[in-house]
Chains A and B, each alone.
Chain A
């Protein structure tokens, strides 16, 4: 092995390319890295898929009978709620991945390379989007088995996919900010719980909001998660969408526009534990 170490006669040099080439190359390396994590970290993928299936069965069969959805089949009501809730939990994976990277010191290593460091974050966010689409397909499949009867056309399904994309993308960047703030895997898990739980349960995910106390109802009806759930639900089962789709896109684009620069600044400022 000794002769191979002779750098006097043997050196590799960085390839000379346009800066833009390397930006895209770095991004694709980081995205590929995170996408590989989806399938080598099977425990995580299974956990993230099984939990919403359990929720679906729980609400469909245990609580569902007692919930009045105004004549609507409860499975039809439920799928949109579960879909967005599991997407919200799924997006929190970014905060876990970021915190894990920080804890392991691999972010430091990336930062010591002649590369765009924030690409790491973009990689995790992309993996979240992909993971959420896998999850969503499983959800809809299970939904169909328990009585979900969507009436959406191809175009409406594409719109649902678009909403899911905007939502996951924005929420994953929020999660990236949380991961950078928390810096440890343990605290980030609690953070995710405290953010996602109230936002998804104080919403129209599982029950119509009209039975909630006034203050809670005011919050539930106007918070972004309710808008996106109402929009997805309406698109799925053919009820009027109203301005829910428009409002949710506005909400989540704004959230993304705030959290991306915040995450980038936190990332650049991060200087070890």
Chain B
């Protein structure tokens, strides 16, 4: 294992399928123990990047280094350094949860005793011990995904690839998954995750790289990106014209946009809870009647609009 500071390095990575160029000159560094989110719509090249880094796909140009090993020249060492969790839970339906983990442990070439110990630890950590003896066919979607992630952790790999780890999960399972990933970060695992949701990238990642049509169009911390995209805003719809005028006068330069016909006032907010409470207090002090309010976070579309001038759109190539 190398002691260099970056766990993943991409230099000028290029990949084409037939005549379609899906990755055009990707440059990326992921520092050891950090989380990088690759953010982009379907077909942007996220999965292709992950598949190249996990040695599943060859590439046409550039250099890819994972955990100090060249993906092209030393795929065996790369494979021994990584865990991979795909978009769908790639676990064996006709084995039990425990058998799945034990199988993976042996395939990572752990000793029998390490395999057994890690299996029981992971079953406990991922809250699967009660279901451990049941075949996976009987598991819920969230349980499968947890098992899938557990399987990629069995050999304590220093680098982890999570390809859309929460796609298709219900909100509760998604939260559980987020919590697990946040714990992994504390464990000093380097994670590259892909997502279509800014919220997910924001919540989990140290740095975000925005991928569009095979190019990285923006990279930075979540705050850096959001500063460039715009803040969260609160939309207030007030009861009548008098309230509208009062609102315009009182909120003054905090107002982002307003619309007299719909009696809509949009205000920039920094801290949702504090700002909403303050505005409601100010509104009632000044007898501004509020009909409804809603909050808007910058979305992937906002990011794309900002950096590309077009909305996030799925490319047609076969990612």
User: With contacts A7-B156, A15-B111, A114-B108 known, is A33 near B125, CB below 8 A?
Assistant: no
Please tell me if the beta carbons of B124 and A1 are within 8 angstroms of each other in the complex.
Answer: yes
Which single member of A1, A36, A104, A113 contacts B107 (CB below 8 Å)?
Answer: A113
User: B110 on the interface (CB 8 Å rule)?
Assistant: yes
Which single member of B56, B99, B103 contacts A108 (CB below 8 Å)?
Answer: B56
B110, closest chain A residue (CB) = A12
Please tell me if the beta carbons of B86 and A5 are within 8 angstroms of each other in the complex.
Answer: no
Please, which residues of chain A bring their CB within 8 A of the CB of B56? Answer: 108, 111-112, 271-272
Min CB distance, B190 to chain A, in Å? 10
User: B109 on the interface (CB 8 Å rule)?
Assistant: yes
User: B158 on the interface (CB 8 Å rule)?
Assistant: yes
A8, closest chain B residue (CB) = B188
**Most chain A CB inside 10 Å of its own CB: which residue of B58, B111, B118:** B111
Please tell me if the beta carbons of B110 and A271 are within 8 angstroms of each other in the complex.
Answer: no
Question: A1-40: which residues lie under 8 A (CB-CB) from chain B?
Answer: 1-2, 4-8, 10-15, 17, 22, 25-26, 29, 32-33, 36-37, 40
**Most chain B CB inside 10 Å of its own CB: which residue of A2, A10, A37, A109:** A109
In the docked arrangement, what's the CA distance between A168 and B168, Å?
40
Please, which residues of chain A bring their CB within 8 A of the CB of B91? Answer: 106
Please tell me if the beta carbons of B79 and A114 are within 8 angstroms of each other in the complex.
Answer: yes
User: With contacts A1-B183, A4-B121, A112-B55 known, is A37 near B94, CB below 8 A?
Assistant: yes
Please tell me if the beta carbons of A113 and B108 are within 8 angstroms of each other in the complex.
Answer: yes
B76, closest chain A residue (CB) = A114
Please tell me if the beta carbons of B107 and A112 are within 8 angstroms of each other in the complex.
Answer: no
Please tell me if the beta carbons of A104 and B79 are within 8 angstroms of each other in the complex.
Answer: no
B102, closest chain A residue (CB) = A29
Question: B162-208: which residues lie under 8 A (CB-CB) from chain A?
Answer: 183-184, 186-189
Please, which residues of chain B bring their CB within 8 A of the CB of A32? Answer: 103
Please tell me if the beta carbons of B183 and A29 are within 8 angstroms of each other in the complex.
Answer: no
Question: A149-195: which residues lie under 8 A (CB-CB) from chain B?
Answer: none
Which single member of A5, A26, A108 contacts B90 (CB below 8 Å)?
Answer: A108
Please tell me if the beta carbons of B109 and A11 are within 8 angstroms of each other in the complex.
Answer: no
Please, which residues of chain B bring their CB within 8 A of the CB of A7? Answer: 156, 158, 187-189
User: A72 on the interface (CB 8 Å rule)?
Assistant: no
User: With contacts A111-B56, A272-B51 known, is A5 near B187, CB below 8 A?
Assistant: yes
User: A61 on the interface (CB 8 Å rule)?
Assistant: no
User: A211 on the interface (CB 8 Å rule)?
Assistant: no
Which single member of B82, B84, B93, B158 contacts A104 (CB below 8 Å)?
Answer: B93
Please tell me if the beta carbons of B184 and A110 are within 8 angstroms of each other in the complex.
Answer: no
Min CB distance, A195 to chain B, in Å? 25
Please, which residues of chain A bring their CB within 8 A of the CB of B79? Answer: 112-114
Please tell me if the beta carbons of B188 and A14 are within 8 angstroms of each other in the complex.
Answer: no
Please tell me if the beta carbons of A29 and B106 are within 8 angstroms of each other in the complex.
Answer: yes
Min CB distance, A173 to chain B, in Å? 22
Question: B92-134: which residues lie under 8 A (CB-CB) from chain A?
Answer: 92-95, 99, 103-104, 106-111, 114, 117-118, 121, 124-125
Pairs A-B, 3 closest by C-beta atoms: A5-B187, A105-B90, A15-B111
A-B contact pairs, 20 of them (CB 8 A): A1-B124, A4-B124, A5-B125, A5-B187, A6-B187, A7-B156, A12-B110, A12-B114, A40-B135, A105-B87, A108-B84, A111-B56, A112-B56, A112-B79, A112-B82, A113-B104, A113-B108, A114-B76, A114-B108, A115-B108
5 more A-B contacts (CB under 8 A) besides A15-B111, A37-B94, A111-B56?
A: A5-B187, A6-B188, A106-B92, A108-B51, A108-B84
